[in-house]
Amino acid sequence: MTIKVGDQVPHAVLMKMTQDGPAPVDTNDLFRGRTVALFAVPGAFTPTCSAKHLPGFIEKAGEFAGKGVDEIVCLSVNDAFVMGAWGKSSGAEDKISMLADGNGDFSKALGLTMDGSKFGMGTRSQRFSMLVKDGKVAELNVEEPGAFKVSSAEHLLAQL
């Protein structure tokens, strides 16, 4: 079942690269009592994700903060090492939290996975964005396969 507006975000443990290596991020702690803009991409370093999706959120990070967003999270079914490297190479550090859903457990719990097997990628997250307020989904924007419109930084900002 796919998560919807009003639902509680499921519990999972994601990973984030730190100076000391990968560290766990508990979604209960991430979302509790906070407003978080989360966007998910099918893969780090992939064309649309690197050229459009992540750069839009980097560029608009200040605007999100100005509208009360405590943190912006980029999520992908990649490992913490890849997400850390992608964040560093894209200039996302200090603006976007690059979180790894390595086994896809969180994406599966959200009901927002896709089959990227024909591209050699296996099960990945669909492209989407959501606004989470105190652990509940306030806005949810899921892209049609191959599209990039409703999950953009601009679209999510307009919903604030």
Q: Kindly state whether residue 2 falls inside one of the protein's structural domains.
A: no
- By three-state DSSP, how is residue 71 classified? strand
- Is the Cβ–Cβ distance between 142 and 5 less than 8 Å? no
Residue 12: predicted pLDDT: 97
On whether residue 7 sits in a domain, the answer given is: no
Domain assignment present for 4: no
The CA R_g of the chain, rounded to the nearest whole Å, is 14
Split at pLDDT 50, 70, 90, the class of 122 is low
pLDDT at position 120: 65
pLDDT tier, 70 (very low <50, low <70, confident <90, very high otherwise): very high
Residue 43 lies in a domain: yes
Mean pLDDT of 134-148: 93
Catalytic residue among 17, 38, 49, 131: 49
Question: Is pLDDT of 71 > 70?
Answer: yes
How much is the average pLDDT of 2-28? Answer: 97
Segments forming the whole domain that contains residue 90: 13-158
Task: In whole angstroms, give the CA distance from residue 30 to residue 12.
Answer: 10
- Count the domains in the chain: 1
Its pTM stands at 0.93
In a domain, 5, yes or no: no
Task: pLDDT band for 118, please (50, 70, 90 cuts).
Answer: confident
Q: Report if residue 25 sits inside a domain.
A: yes
CATH number, position 49: 3.40.30.10
SS3 percent helix, strand, coil of the chain, rounded to 5, is 30, 30, 40
Whether residue 33 has pLDDT greater than 70: yes
Mean pLDDT (whole number) for 140-154: 92
Q: pLDDT band at 40, cuts 50/70/90?
A: very high
The pLDDT of residue 35: 98
Active site residue 49: yes
Q: CA-CA distance, 81 to 152, in Å (whole number)? A: 24
Residue 145 lies in a domain: yes
42 lies in a domain? yes
